[in-house]
Structure 1
Amino acid sequence: MKKKVVLAYSGGLDTSIILKWLQTERDYEVVAFTADIGQGDEVEEARVKALNTGAVAAYALDLQEEFVSDFVFPMMRSAALYEGYYLLGTSIARPLIAKKLVEIAEQEGAVAIAHGATGKGNDQVRFEMTALALRPDIQTVAPWREWSFKGRADLEAFARQHGIPVPTTQKDPWSTDANLLHISYEGGILEDPWAEPPAHMFKLTVDPALAPDTPEYVEIEFEGGNPVAIDGERLSPAALLARANQLAGAHGVGRLDLVENRFVGMKSRGVYETPGGTLLYHARRAVESLTLDREVLHQRDALAPKYAELVYNGFWYAPEREALQAYFDHVAARVTGTARIKLFKGNATVVGRKSPISLYDKELVTFEADNVYNQADAAAFIKLNALRLRVKARADQKAAQQALLEETGA
């Protein structure tokens, strides 16, 4: 009996070639798996295409709610940004896809999983680290690290040999990856970091210059760390993110052009559209500014880059990420309230925030007369905090005087 492998299958030319290569060159029975995490109608098309290409079974699973509730929202509770900018839209999808690959492998009695990630990128690490964390004995077949094809012409020749349709029109000269959180664009003409992305490339956001000339105000409500409603309408996690994408994208919010450091060691240029994620990020920070203690907020922000690095590098199921998650979830439990955001010409600007558990005390901060704060107390506060600075300054002065005496021989 032939061994089975479960392939992460997109329906594109590359994974279709991989499917056939696994059959003809590795003698596997191939089970195809396509995850619906918000990329649209292509999911069912991919399932049918996989069967037509020779898969013995094909799964197309709607994972949108699980993706947002169990992966995107927990990540958002950390306020994570990779290298100060990237909202991790591709990174956070990989552990869910790999988790399902392993589950289907168990269900189908497969000995291995396979993916179409190249040996240069981050996704190979993310898929395989997740799989090994969940099933230590799982094997992985990574054709891009194994086959002898030298370039696109070799791949297309193999496709024609095995009856796999090859597009006759020129594909957009870049690669894309889409889910409910974002779309990424890499490769091709974008490999020149000086070249501006083509205007027609973007799909989720309008050109900010062409966005409406009238701003739109949006209210995002949070409860216990998660967004739960937009403009007073309560929505499921996936529906809320989809609505946020629609609202922010219509005003050109959420574009990012970044040269990032891949885990494998090279720099790469990626262009991203994350309209809903950008809107929710700014809304969350607005509510946090009212509800989180200063030192807790600063400590959370100090730890967030490490969390972002773990997600980016594929360590979702590592104990250190899980430990940080427990801390971030504890902090986020106080993030309850509403943020008002103005969307206009590519910007998402906080213009209001409120919370029933706000730590903001107008009586304390007012410039008008008050009876709760004695301004004279600040003098002692400053003097005590400056004590170590004064001690150091006196020591430095004394050392300088001694050096001068020794220099002059006095």
Structure 2
Amino acid sequence: MKKLVLAYSGGLDTSYCAKYLSQEEGFEVHAVSVNTGGFSGEEIALIKEKALQLGATSYTSIDALEHFYEKVVKYLIYGNVLRNNTYPLSVSAERIVQAIEIVNHAKKIGAEYIAHGSTGAGNDQVRFDMIFQILAPDIKIITPIRDKSLSREAEIKYLQENGIDYSWEKAKYSINKGLWGTSVGGDETLTSNLPLPESAFPSQLIATDPKDVKLGFFKGELVSVNGQKGTPVQNIITLDAIASEYAIGRDIHVGDTIIGIKGRVGFEAAASLIIIKAHHLLEKHTLSKWQQFQKEQLGNFYGMLLHEGNYLDEVMRNIEAFLSDTQRNVSGEVSVSLHPYRFELNGVNSGNDLMNASFGNYGETNKAWTANDAKGFIKILSNPGKIANQITQNDD
């Protein structure tokens, strides 16, 4: 039999692929899921049971949580990356790591084929295919959903006809949960005007009393929550558990897809949005004006390349080196208040706070220059404007 590795999540698309490829196409299907957050031990056990029920020869779960943080998430924090100033790249960031792990597994077991459940109208097909083609050009890529232009209804019908119970209600919303956030897609996100209903979001409002949280950073990494130290991954999970009870981090992102059409997707990303905003505030206190300016340019560029599947381009390693270097003084504690559906940044406490310099207090007193110094500085600073105004004052 033809040995094939299937990127398997247990959702509708990959369930169809597992059944169809093993039963109709005669492949020896080896289902692989890559845990980049969002899967408990019990859920992984259920995913394995389902994969084998669908016809997979084997099932493998790869724990890539720490790898995902070290290779991707860390730099999204350093760069304060929010696509279109909104979306923290929750799913697109995961896909890169998942694709690399799947290629490595395919090589390990000597598979001649790799399959995934992407459609022909989304970004994931590009991300998966690019990684596969670059790292394993000799392995053939199989994509039944894309090649057969299948609707979700058609996939459900096929599974039901083959004895697999799969309801439309279960498939109504496509939910992808990971360490850095959860995406939510459904009928409403295919429109331009409809919001997602409250019930579509995995986390519901539980807490209503405001709560203060203190986030400790060391060289740009989250090292503590409320004084309790842990690894960055542990701290992200802890913060998400606290903030999700307030239904924080919900939004709908609208952006340009890799394939050139507009796309709309809902998401909830409590921890990632709070961390990025808190980290950014700390940087405002500890970095120079020009460091912040250059970081913003390169952070946005890094996010764009990552989103579009270009993670393996060497320029990404160059940008990561720059972003890492900027974090040398980004240490301190940020105070955050949590409220239903929102959060507030209260302030920072850092030994590297540039506001603590003895040069003066903004808008109040100056200690390092005289009034005449200020007047002379302003006079020289205005020279370019004076010259331009003199030359162009008679222009229409």
Q: TM-score, normalised by structure 1?
A: 0.89
Tell me the distance in 2 between the aligned counterparts of 1:368 and 1:215: 33
Tell me the distance in 1 between the aligned counterparts of 2:229 and 2:37: 20
Match of 1:302 in 2: 297
Tell me the distance in 2 between the aligned counterparts of 1:196 and 1:146: 31
Contact 2:188 2:195 in 1 (8 A): no
Match of 1:102 in 2: 103
Match of 2:158 in 1: 158
TM-superposed CA distance for 1:6, in Å, is: 0.8
TM-superposed CA distance for 1:46, in Å, is: 1.1
Match of 2:33 in 1: 34
Aligned residue among 322, 327, 339 for 1:332: 327
Contact 1:215 1:344 in 2 (8 A): yes
Match of 2:242 in 1: 247
Match of 2:77 in 1: 76
Tell me the distance in 1 between the aligned counterparts of 2:283 and 2:214: 15
Deviation per residue, 1:203-237 (Å, 9 max, x gap): 2352xxx741x321111111112111111111122
Deviation per residue, 1:186-216 (Å, 9 max, x gap): 132332221222111222352xxx741x321
Tell me the distance in 2 between the aligned counterparts of 1:170 and 1:290: 49
Contact 1:211 1:251 in 2 (8 A): yes
Contact 2:156 2:167 in 1 (8 A): no
SS at match of 2:346: strand
| Unmatched segments (≥5 aa) in structure 1 | 404-410
TM-superposed CA distance for 1:38, in Å, is: 2.2
Residue identity in the other structure for 1:55: A
TM-superposed CA distance for 1:172, in Å, is: 5.6
Match of 1:350 in 2: 345
TM-superposed CA distance for 1:180, in Å, is: 1.8
Tell me the distance in 1 between the aligned counterparts of 2:78 and 2:389: 43
Question: Structure 1 stretches (4+) deviating beyond 4 angstroms?
Answer: 367-370
Tell me the distance in 2 between the aligned counterparts of 1:172 and 1:131: 28
SS at match of 2:384: helix
TM-superposed CA distance for 1:142, in Å, is: 1.4
Match of 1:387 in 2: 383
TM-superposed CA distance for 1:378, in Å, is: 2.1
C-alpha distance 56-384 of structure 1, shift in aligned 2 (>3 A): same
Residue identity in the other structure for 2:281: A
Residue identity in the other structure for 1:223: F
Matches within 5 A, 1:3-402: 3-40=2-39, 41-147=42-148, 150-163=150-163, 165-168=164-167, 170-171=169-170, 173-206=172-205, 211-212=207-208, 214-366=209-361, 371-397=367-393, 399-400=394-395
Deviates more, 1:376-385 or 1:78-87: 376-385
Contact 2:81 2:276 in 1 (8 A): no
Contact 1:205 1:273 in 2 (8 A): no
Contact 1:65 1:237 in 2 (8 A): no
Contact 1:221 1:227 in 2 (8 A): yes
TM-superposed CA distance for 1:161, in Å, is: 4.4
Tell me the distance in 2 between the aligned counterparts of 1:154 and 1:251: 37
TM-superposed CA distance for 1:310, in Å, is: 0.9
Tell me the distance in 2 between the aligned counterparts of 1:294 and 1:205: 40
C-alpha distance 350-232 of structure 1, shift in aligned 2 (>3 A): same
Residue identity in the other structure for 1:14: D
Contact 2:13 2:145 in 1 (8 A): no
Deviation per residue, 1:81-106 (Å, 9 max, x gap): 11111100011100111011011011
Deviation per residue, 1:24-47 (Å, 9 max, x gap): 443321111012222234222111
Deviation per residue, 1:272-295 (Å, 9 max, x gap): 100001111121012111211111
- Aligned pairs, number: 393
Contact 2:360 2:368 in 1 (8 A): no
TM-superposed CA distance for 1:370, in Å, is: 5.5
C-alpha distance 370-302 of structure 1, shift in aligned 2 (>3 A): same
Contact 1:174 1:189 in 2 (8 A): no
TM-superposed CA distance for 1:314, in Å, is: 1.1
Contact 1:81 1:88 in 2 (8 A): yes
Tell me the distance in 2 between the aligned counterparts of 1:137 and 1:78: 35
Q: Which has more radius of gyration?
A: 1
Residue identity in the other structure for 1:325: E
SS at match of 1:146: helix
C-alpha distance 151-341 of structure 1, shift in aligned 2 (>3 A): closer
Tell me the distance in 1 between the aligned counterparts of 2:123 and 2:84: 15
C-alpha distance 64-298 of structure 1, shift in aligned 2 (>3 A): same
Residue identity in the other structure for 2:102: L
